[in-house]
């Protein structure tokens, strides 16, 4: 991981830890209350004035890009939520269709995917569209590879396209065999892509067909697969140190699971109380033992301990479902990790701080 400057001081949560009845501290944002419990503290909430589909933090952790329903990609400063840039051109302004996904290429350049199939590379500082290509589908995911040589896209159909990042020329399509007797690719929409951080060619994908597929981006067919996860957002992640995959499904049972990356086998289903289960749109590892998830039905954002299936921090009673999230940055501090995170719901993106997420001294609750 790239070195980052130390986080601004993240205090221990000043509100009392919840008691046995689960009571926490009510906080107010734009006149709406929500419940904050545990080691999480809301720093500030960015009002985007339009429904949010995606939020992505820049490589420096100083900026956050937000994709909205009216086709805008808005750049905010993470530290105070100030709006800095708005990425829009004549094409997107005339069509007024959602910007669904984005991924930073570097601190001053990002790629965005749109509902009408457009994929645009933007210069952030001067708000100039550098290149545009078009796919014959709604684009659900754009992913820049860690080596910065390729762009991978997924969408409303089952194909996964691989482009040369410099030229945006298509170099491969990863897809299933025509025969339905083989499950060597997706059969329905693909909602999530995650490249292995340390492997040059390998990535995973997830979608509505209840599979996570493993790919070598040079090959046409998937190399192996996991059956089970029902993926409806950016809710898969890879931990390269532990060789594990995190999946968070849009369903009320077996929602959060951890898998062995090398074997493709289930290591653990994270236990949740039946009354606290959500249908998840977003998930991401934080550090070695923890992860964040967000979803609908219960309209909740959680930071959870992976090993003992316990909530470390929870924001609940949110007005709408949490549809996206990202890690701003985290730093090791003695026995624990302080982390700043972002999550999007309705027309808002919340910036929150989580203290000591790998320190198991005080927890909210244990699953029953």
Share of the chain above pLDDT 90, in %: 75
Q: H or E stretch including 282?
A: strand 279-286
Write down the number of H helices and E strands in the chain. 1, 30
Task: For residue 92, give the DSSP letter.
Answer: H
What span, in angstroms and rounded, lies between the C-alpha atoms of 229 and 245?
11
Q: Domains of the chain, with CATH numbers?
A: 29-354 (2.130.10.10)
**What confidence tens digit (pLDDT) does each residue in 172-229 have?**
999 999 988 888 999 999 999 999 999 999 999 999 999 999 999 999 999 999 999 9
* pTM listed for this prediction: 0.88
Determine the straight-line distance between the first and last CA of the chain, rounded to whole angstroms.
Answer: 36
pLDDT digits (tens, 9 = 90+) for 4-39: 333 333 333 333 323 222 344 555 544 457 899 999
Q: Model confidence over 97-156: pLDDT tens digits?
A: 999 999 999 999 999 999 999 999 999 999 999 999 999 999 999 999 999 999 999 999
Secondary structure percentages of the chain, helix, strand, coil, to 5: 0, 50, 45
Tokens for 230? 């029902």
Q: What is the DSSP string of 210-273?
A: SEEEEEETTSSS-SEEEE-----SS-EEEETTTTEEEEE-SSSSS-EEEEETTT--EEEEPP--
């Amino acid at each position: 991981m790239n070195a980052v400057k130390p986080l601004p001081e993240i205090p221990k949560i000043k509100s009392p830890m919840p008691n046995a009845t689960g009571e926490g501290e009510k906080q107010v944002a734009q006149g709406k209350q929500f419940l904050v419990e545990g080691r999480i503290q809301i720093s500030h909430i960015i009002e985007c004035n339009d429904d949010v589909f995606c939020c992505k933090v820049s490589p420096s952790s100083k900026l956050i890009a937000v994709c909205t329903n009216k086709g805008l990609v808005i750049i905010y400063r993470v530290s105070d939520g100030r709006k800095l840039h708005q990425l829009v051109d004549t094409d997107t302004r005339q069509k007024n269709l959602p910007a669904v996904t984005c991924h930073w290429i570097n601190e001053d350049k990002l790629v965005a995917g749109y509902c009408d199939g457009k994929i645009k590379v933007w210069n952030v500082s001067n708000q100039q569209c550098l290149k545009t290509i078009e796919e014959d589908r709604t684009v659900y995911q754009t992913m820049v590879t860690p080596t910065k040589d390729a762009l991978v896209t997924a969408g409303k159909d089952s194909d996964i396209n691989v482009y040369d990042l410099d030229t945006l020329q298509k170099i491969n399509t990863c897809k299933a065999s025509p025969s339905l007797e083989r499950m060597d690719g997706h059969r329905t929409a693909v909602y999530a892509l995650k490249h292995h951080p340390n492997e040059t060619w390998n990535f995973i994908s997830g979608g509505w067909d209840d599979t996570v597929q493993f790919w070598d981006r040079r090959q046409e067919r998937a190399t192996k697969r996991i059956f089970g996860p029902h993926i409806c957002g950016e809710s898969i992640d890879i931990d390269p140190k532990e060789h594990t995959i995190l999946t968070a499904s849009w369903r009320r049972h077996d929602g959060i699971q951890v898998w062995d990356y090398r074997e493709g086998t289930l290591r653990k289903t994270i236990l949740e109380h039946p009354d606290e289960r959500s249908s998840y749109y977003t998930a991401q590892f934080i550090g070695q033992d923890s992860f964040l998830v967000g979803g609908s039905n219960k309209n909740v954002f959680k930071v959870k301990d992976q090993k003992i299936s316990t909530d470390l921090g929870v924001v609940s009673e949110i007005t709408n479902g949490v549809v996206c999230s990202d890690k701003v940055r985290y730093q090791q501090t003695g026995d624990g990790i302080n982390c700043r995170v972002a999550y999007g719901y309705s027309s808002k993106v919340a910036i929150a701080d989580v203290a000591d997420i790998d320190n198991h001294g005080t927890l909210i609750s244990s699953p029953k």
